[in-house]
Structure 1
Amino acid sequence: MRLRGRRLPKSRVLAAACALAIAGAVVPATQVVAQAGTTKDHGPKPTIVLVHGAWADASSWNPVISRLQHDGYIVVAPPNPLRGVDYDAQTLKNYLATIEGPIVLAGHSYGGVVITNAAAGNPHVKALVYDDAYIPAQGETVFQINAAQPGSCVTADPSTFLNLVQYPGAPQGDYDAYLKVAPNGAYRGFAECFANGVPRAQARLLAAGQRPFAVSAGSEPSGTPAWKTIPSWAVVGTADHGASPCVVDTLILDLDGSGGSEKTADGDEGLFGRVQGRCCGPV
């Protein structure tokens, strides 16, 4: 089933996706649609864990955190080290182990790779939410996924869009990668690539405070995917230039097959959907 919705701020769409995931985590799947919008207490509210992606920090979640806290949820947004898939996932896995009770785990962009690996084997993680995120199968890498479909602004010659900086203890050939601020050839610049649609003043702040992403993290294969066993939702930004909608749609199609229902609501900034045990269907 497909529902067409009015344009919504992405923070509201993501909060709605988290709310639906929460409903799915605490009530039987057949009751989710009927009860997701109610205020009935179906048990302890889950802790919502938000994981940022490359070139960002936890403050990128602030609008979503505010909405969810207003609704009475405990929300945490731990730092993502951005050092590598295994390192970052193990860091998050250790953090999740300190949380008591049910968890809804959401990741943005590269954060989707991290939650895919960190949630595996944790019985407290009841739902995954992928926000414009990579949803890798076992063995897939971020660079491989980006190259498979058009639309991402970070697939050209790395020298055109990255500033590479040595860091202490780096494996041979690895660097910290920062996005260039100014346009360069086919690269449209930080504001158009990473911060597309964000006010220019805010884009300048994001560019100034970006956190580096280890180049090797983009080529490190993903492990056993948690979405195979944990109900998952996807939020797809139709104007995303990083993890492009074409890339995310293909991942969703490749992972479809659980037989769950689909719901989408689209706009200029996002849409959300769900199928039991996998991610949403074609958008």
Structure 2
Amino acid sequence: MTEVVLVHGAWADASSWSGVVQPLRDDGFTVRAIANPLRSLSGDAAAVRAFLATLAGPIVLAGHSYGGAVITNAATGLPNVEALVYVNAFAPDAGQAATQLAGPESALSVDPTTIFDFVPAALPPTRETELYLKPETVFESFATGLDDDGKALVAATQRAATLGALNEPSGEPAWRTIPSWYLVGTEDRIIPPDAQQAMAKYAGAEVTEYAAGHVGLITHPGDVVQIIRRAAAGR
């Protein structure tokens, strides 16, 4: 039976897939939502790749947001990964970094001191500096589609990503040899839909749009489940 492996993005953890896991399990899939370290793109991809190497069966590998960049690198050359699924995600080509792919219309494409809290707070930041989204960024741009209590929960429980991880150039992309599917959130303010469409096009992905913001995996889990089902069926 196909195994589904879910990789979360920055400022999130594996619980962001909670609404997706049970419907897929009900379909008979073995599902694992695994930890993404959020330390460096190459290191994060190596950690995911090491997990994938423990699985024997065919794999559908899905990534949300920065998790898309991670799966793009983690799956390269792995014969048992049969499909890639991008959910409001970065799908970089070799040499591209996540931040540059967000594009000028992204809420992230502003003075970083206005949207992030730096840890440590010393400026200028280094590659190891951890970035937390300011609460107003979560409420206005990142977690749109949730009510205020949901947004507050996202803001309170976010996991920091390092500056280096978000700016590290990608390696050879797995989508060159692995079929891919892309779920474009038309209300996304972090990775605007035009940027998502552009990445999906050069990755040769099958594209589906849904009326969701950046955390569509939380607000619209049924749409995410559907595209993973399609990827598993190869259609």
Q: Determine if the TM-score, normalized by the shorter chain, exceeds 0.5.
A: yes
Q: Which residue of 2 aligns with 1:216?
A: 164
Q: Are residue 155 (structure 1) and residue 103 (structure 2) matched?
A: no
Question: Structure 1 residue 107: deviation in Å?
Answer: 0.1
Q: Which residue of 2 aligns with 1:138?
A: 94
> Superposed, which structure 2 residues align to 1:117-136 within 5 Å?
117-136=73-92
The one-letter code of the counterpart of 1:210 is Q
The one-letter code of the counterpart of 1:54 is A
Q: Which residue of 2 aligns with 1:192?
A: 140
Question: Structure 1 residue 166: deviation in Å?
Answer: 2.6
Q: Which residue of 1 aligns with 2:211?
A: 268
Report the count of equivalent residues.
Answer: 217
- Indicate how the Cα distance of structure 1 residues 222 and 76 shifts in structure 2: closer, same or farther if over 3 A, else same: same
> Superposed, which structure 2 residues align to 1:25-40 within 5 Å?
none
- Match of residue 206, structure 1, among 154, 157, 164: 154
Question: Structure 1 residue 221: deviation in Å?
Answer: 0.3
- Match of residue 245, structure 1, among 193, 205, 224: 193
Q: Deviations over 1:82-117 (max 9, x none)?
A: 011100000000010111211000000000000000
Name whichever structure is richer in strand by fraction: 2
> Superposed, which structure 2 residues align to 1:1-283 within 5 Å?
45-147=1-103, 149-150=104-105, 152-166=106-120, 172=126, 174-182=128-136, 189-256=137-204, 264=208, 266-269=209-212
The one-letter code of the counterpart of 2:142 is F
Q: Which residue of 1 aligns with 2:220?
A: none
Q: Distance in 1 between matches of 2:89 and 2:173?
A: 14
Q: Which structure is larger by alpha-carbon Rg, 1 or 2? A: 1
Q: Distance in 1 between matches of 2:202 and 2:24?
A: 31
Name whichever structure is richer in helix by fraction: 2
Contact 1:166 1:174 survives alignment (8 Å)? no
The one-letter code of the counterpart of 2:181 is W
3-state SS, counterpart of residue 101 of structure 1: coil
What is the percentage of aligned positions where both structures have the same residue? 45
Question: Structure 1 residue 172: deviation in Å?
Answer: 4.8
Q: Deviations over 1:28-67 (max 9, x none)?
A: xxxxxxxxxxxxxxxxx21100000000000000001011
Contact 1:107 1:133 survives alignment (8 Å)? yes
Q: Distance in 1 between matches of 2:158 and 2:21?
A: 20
| TM-score w.r.t. length of structure 2 | 0.85
3-state SS, counterpart of residue 38 of structure 2: coil
The one-letter code of the counterpart of 2:174 is A
Q: Distance in 2 between matches of 1:54 and 1:263?
A: 23
Question: Structure 1 residue 249: deviation in Å?
Answer: 1.0
Q: Which 5+ residue runs of structure 2 have no aligned equivalent?
A: 217-222
Q: Distance in 2 between matches of 1:252 and 1:135?
A: 7
Q: Distance in 1 between matches of 2:7 and 2:127?
A: 27
3-state SS, counterpart of residue 233 of structure 1: strand
Question: Structure 1 residue 255: deviation in Å?
Answer: 3.4
C-alpha RMSD of the superposition? 2.4
Contact 1:50 1:76 survives alignment (8 Å)? yes
